[in-house]
Amino acid sequence: MKQYIKHNPWKIIEEGLLPEYNKVSESIFSLGNGKIGQRGNFEEYYSGETLRGNYISGVYYPDKTRVGWWKNGYPEYFAKVLNAPDWTGIKISIDGEKLDLHTCKITDFKRVLNMKKGYFRKRYLAEFPDGKKIKIKSKRFLSIVNDELGVIKYSVEPVNFEGKIEVLSDINADIINQDSNYDEKFWVEIEKSTTVKPYVISETKKTFFRVCTAMDVIAEFDGKEIPLSNLKKVEKEKYVGIKFTLPIKKGKTTRLFKFASITSSMNYDINNLAKEAYDVLEYANDKGYEALLYEQEEAWKKKWEESDIVIKGDISAQQGIRFNIFQLNQTYTGQDERLNIGPKGFTGEKYGGSTYWDTEAYLLPFYLSTADEKVAKQLLKYRYNHLDKAIENGEKLGFNTGAALYPMVTMNGEECHNEWEITFEEIHRNGAIAFAIFDYVNYTGNKTYIAQYGLEVLIGISKFWAQRINFSEEKQKYVMLGVTGPNEYENNVNNNWYTNTIACKTMEYTAKSIEYVKQNHPKEFKKIIQKTKFNTDTELTNWKKIYNNMYFPYDEKRKVFLQQDGFLDKELKPVSTLSHLERPIHQHWSWDRILLSCYIKQADVLQGLYFFEDDYDIETIRRNFDFYEPLTVHESSLSSCVHSILAAKIGDKKRAYDFYLNAARLDLDDYNNDTEDGLHVTSMGGTWMTIVKGFGGMRIKNNKLSFAPFIPEQWQSYSFKIRFRGSLLNIEVSKKSIQIENESNKNVEIILFDKNQKIKGKEVFEMLF
């Protein structure tokens, strides 16, 4: 665990340049706007260890799968969101000496991510080998007002000399993904220009996405715009730059303003990319830097007004939750139904930037409660649009008649995960996609979605479950064999309790949805039945047989659900018996040793109890929590949030808080020594849930918001905002009271500690403890 980030309620601050942590910081100081993103790399030369990263959502490459033993149905490629052309370069030289932050003497270094206003800035004093010293300041942001625009303000001030500096401003499309399976570069050059506003048009191999990256540079000296002197054009393959000199003088500041535009064939005709990029640059020039920054700050102010969580009395916790919310808001905006959210967002290459089941299980609730309803709906429509591909995936594995197996990893609906135990066995992901439909309808009350989109998906998934399950003559029960549950430290197990449970819940919910659409949307019902070739008599009867007679492993002695058949054959040694030198175990143990052990990577049985808590009494949840949590190593970023929510549910306030803090500061403190690969963006939705669903006790009951809050003893108070069916509520919990302010004009009925309360528009309800 690293604790070099300074605690601050609105800012992420690093003081002193720490080369050994640079890649971690590059992840932490990442920026994004829903369409483009980048790691917190330096603009300058840096010869130290770094992972340069710029990303464009939806632009990917199908990197050929690298395996030693090919199996039928195996994905042909692993999709990767590509490291895109790097436009951030502002490289300084003085008398032929490069300003390299790794080789120059750097003091007074500070970098700051201002989460309130949406920008990244840094400052430092650099000393060259000949003794010359300069002060550098920079500020960078990716506009969330114009999501094809990036902006840098870069300032230079000499300390003990004056003269001229040489500047190289560039665009580098000759980049590589660190995770390339065959060390292949994925971009080819189509066109470039070194006019006054240089650009590079590059194209991805195989997928043929085209991207134009263009730039414009303006210089100021002592507050006045000046021309770029001794301008030289630099061209190489997939690279353009302009070199020029600028005056510097003691006591005076020389500034550069760099505007960059990124346009792609996802949104424009390939013949118009340069024109569209120039239009963005013209927009930036017309606005000017200060107006662009003001727009950015105002746009972020609006986002925070709808999604902020305020914690008083605990700066570490406050910084943690705001960092999580900031990353969620800059990763996904819901503007494009073709886009989704990768586990690393715009912060790194690991997991390929592709979509996992994390979106449905951990991210959807955040966007449901903090953004317009259409934002969450876009996430669901993403899966609806991929239904045909999910059916194709099922066919590849031998399933038929419309059985849909959604991919574990995808960019376009095709499965592209390259580990067999995940691709073929971790099929519980299908259940999370079905649960998301239930979650969305339950929260919004928009049942029309079922008839428009949801039912087709539910039928496809339920068809898959019905074919994947078989009847055991020995048990006289239905069983599911050869699966991997959420706990990926177990593979190829029989009757994973969570998978069996969510399969049955899906079929049951689908049956109810069929009846609803049949009764309320008969025209749509007829079309869906014809399209899916669904037999309402035989298939519904079969589903009912399955979910009424499914086998669920259970230990009568402990009265707990068993993670899978044979789990009790393991040596049940709690995690507390492990040496810290063995943690995390996936970095220190062989895979064989992990599979033989009882240790659990993340919530498995507990994931099911979290999803379906209304079906189990509090003592059942408590027994299972107390049995499984001591065996859980929490080596998935998705683990702590579920455990925090369940700990809150059973009244274990201390563990609920401890799990929250682990989730909230997972990346800021680099708990698992892997933040350098990128942030755990999808788990950040889970962090939000620990406060709202855990401490706040928020649920939907009888079509109303329900709350049962408590306050961690470390806090003086906390508050969070919730959007619900046209209303906006601010819930504040202190040691003495609960205040719920209805910030909308619409009257709203809520449930507080199981009692109905009505709050009129623009009024505040208070309950004293």
Angle between the 455-468 and 429-444 helix axes, to the nearest 10 degrees?
Answer: 150
Q: How confident is the model at residue 269 (pLDDT cuts 50, 70, 90)?
A: very high
Peptide bond just before 486 cis, omega within 30 deg: no
CB 211 within 8 A of CB 59: yes
Q: Which residues pair with 13 in a beta bridge?
A: 6, 112
Could you tell me which of 742, 656, 751 has the C-alpha nearest to residue 694?
656
Question: Side chain identity at 591, as an amino acid letter?
Answer: W
Beta-carbon count within 10 A of 440 CB: 24
Structure token digits, residue 256: 């550069």
Question: Side chain identity at 303, as an amino acid letter?
Answer: K
DSSP symbols for 431-464? HHHHHHHHHHHHHH--THHIIIIIHHHHHHHHHH
95 phi-psi bin (left φ>0, alpha ψ -120 to 50, beta other): left
CB 2 within 8 A of CB 24: yes
Distance, in Å, from the CA atom of 260 to the CA atom of 238, rounded to the nearest integer, reads 16
The DSSP secondary-structure symbol of 616 reads S
For residue 301, is pLDDT > 70?
Answer: yes
130 phi-psi bin (left φ>0, alpha ψ -120 to 50, beta other): alpha
Q: How confident is the model at residue 566 (pLDDT cuts 50, 70, 90)?
A: very high
Q: How confident is the model at residue 196 (pLDDT cuts 50, 70, 90)?
A: confident
Tens-place pLDDT, residues 439-470: 999 999 999 999 999 999 999 999 999 999 99
* Total residue length of the chain: 769
Rounded (5°) CA angle 275-332-453:
100
Distance, in Å, from the CA atom of 386 to the CA atom of 141, rounded to the nearest integer, reads 33
Beta-carbon count within 10 A of 39 CB: 27
DSSP symbols for 668-682? TTTTTS-GGG---HH
Phi and psi, residue 716, nearest 5°: -85, -40
The owner of tokens 């574990």 is 408
The percent of residues in the chain predicted with pLDDT above 90, rounded, is 91
For residue 769, is pLDDT > 80?
Answer: yes
Structure token digits, residue 558: 């402990």
For residue 431, the model assigns a pLDDT of 98
Its sign, for the CA torsion 198, 200, 60, 86, is: negative
Angle between the 497-520 and 455-468 helix axes, to the nearest 10 degrees?
Answer: 140
The owner of tokens 């700990």 is 647
Tens-place pLDDT, residues 58-91: 999 888 776 656 667 777 777 888 899 999 999 9
Question: Side chain identity at 110, as an amino acid letter?
Answer: K
CB 115 within 8 A of CB 14: no
CB 307 within 8 A of CB 370: yes
3-state secondary structure 262-311: EEECCCCCHHHHHHHHHHHHHHHHHHCHHHHHHHHHHHHHHHHHHHCEEE
CA 159 to chain centre: 43
For residue 546, the model assigns a pLDDT of 98
Tens-place pLDDT, residues 593-609: 999 999 999 999 999 99
Its sign, for the CA torsion 8, 14, 15, 21, is: positive
Tens-place pLDDT, residues 537-551: 999 999 999 999 999
Query: Averaged over 279-288, what is the pLDDT?
Result: 98
Report the C-alpha dihedral over residues 159, 161, 164, 166, rounded to 10 degrees: -60
Tens-place pLDDT, residues 361-420: 999 999 999 999 999 999 999 999 999 999 999 999 999 989 999 999 999 999 888 777
Question: Side chain identity at 709, as an amino acid letter?
Answer: P
For residue 388, the model assigns a pLDDT of 97
For residue 315, is pLDDT > 90?
Answer: yes
Distance, in Å, from the CA atom of 215 to the CA atom of 170, rounded to the nearest integer, reads 8
- Give me the helices (H) in 727-767, please: none
DSSP symbols for 703-722? TEEEE-----TT-SEEEEEE
Indicate the average pLDDT of the chain.
95
Helices (H) and strands (E) in the chain, counts: 22, 33
Distance, in Å, from the CA atom of 514 to the CA atom of 286, rounded to the nearest integer, reads 55
Query: Averaged over 43-67, what is the pLDDT?
Result: 90
For residue 69, the model assigns a pLDDT of 61
Peptide bond just before 198 cis, omega within 30 deg: no
Could you tell me which of 352, 460, 487, 410 has the C-alpha nearest to residue 75?
410
Query: Averaged over 522-527, what is the pLDDT?
Result: 97
For residue 67, the model assigns a pLDDT of 63
Lowest mean per-residue pLDDT among 102-106, 175-179, 228-232, 614-618: 175-179
Say which residues have a Cβ less than 8 Å from residue 528's Cβ, sequence separation at least 6: 451, 455, 456, 459, 517, 534
Say which residues have a Cβ less than 8 Å from residue 357's Cβ, sequence separation at least 6: 406, 408, 428, 429, 432, 433
Distance, in Å, from the CA atom of 390 to the CA atom of 58, rounded to the nearest integer, reads 19
Distance, in Å, from the CA atom of 442 to the CA atom of 552, rounded to the nearest integer, reads 27
Distance, in Å, from the CA atom of 58 to the CA atom of 355, rounded to the nearest integer, reads 10
Distance, in Å, from the CA atom of 375 to the CA atom of 390, rounded to the nearest integer, reads 23
Active site residue 421: no
Distance, in Å, from the CA atom of 736 to the CA atom of 698, rounded to the nearest integer, reads 19
The owner of tokens 């370069």 is 89
For residue 671, is pLDDT > 70?
Answer: yes
For residue 66, the model assigns a pLDDT of 67
Tens-place pLDDT, residues 624-639: 999 999 999 999 999 9
Say which residues have a Cβ less than 8 Å from residue 469's Cβ, sequence separation at least 6: 478, 479, 480, 503, 546, 550
Structure token digits, residue 92: 């300084």
For residue 77, the model assigns a pLDDT of 78
Distance, in Å, from the CA atom of 513 to the CA atom of 515, rounded to the nearest integer, reads 5
For residue 756, the model assigns a pLDDT of 97
For residue 70, the model assigns a pLDDT of 62
For residue 295, the model assigns a pLDDT of 98
Query: Averaged over 347-362, what is the pLDDT?
Result: 88
For residue 182, is pLDDT > 90?
Answer: no
Structure token digits, residue 27: 């992840």
The percent of residues in the chain predicted with pLDDT above 70, rounded, is 99
Q: Which of 44, 419, 456, 488 is catalytic?
A: 488
